[in-house]
Amino acid sequence: QVQVVESGGGLVQAGGSLRLSCTASGLTFDDFAMGWFRQAPEKGREWVSCMARNAGIDYYADSVKGRFTISGDNAKNTMYLQMNSLKPEDTAMYYCAAQRSDEDFFCSSQPPLYDYWGQGTQVTVSS
């Protein structure tokens, strides 16, 4: 059974940093692209970043580019999102998702294309 579990959220002041982790079990990490999404209250799910399988390439939403960094450790089936220079508008529930993929240089920004989701971890940035 596949499980995707996020951790690392919390409360931080504006300008601070957090590192989110996402551990996936029951799947072969090398066969999946991985993505981070977020959802603020009363807003739709927003794509944040994704990483192609085998960490071939990664992409970022314009709103986080230059501040967030996605990375992965295939040996641990774990993905990370390092978030620096956090802003109050980054406040949201952050979700990790896994997408079956055979492409080393592509990952999707579209939530429906992801196969497995975690329960989310809350990030709150105070001003």
The 10s digit of each residue's pLDDT in 80-126 is 999 999 999 999 999 999 999 998 899 999 999 999 999 999 999 99
Distance CA 119, CA 127 (A): 26
- For 89, the 3-state DSSP assignment is helix
What pLDDT is recorded for position 56?
A: 75
Per-residue pLDDT band at 78 (split at 50, 70, 90): very high
What pLDDT is stored for residue 86 in this prediction? 98
Strand partners, 12: 125
Task: State residue 66's pLDDT score.
Answer: 97
Backbone angle region of 102, left / alpha / beta, with phi > 0 → left and psi within -120 to 50 → alpha: alpha
Q: Taking 80 as the threshold, does the pLDDT of residue 51 lie above it?
A: yes
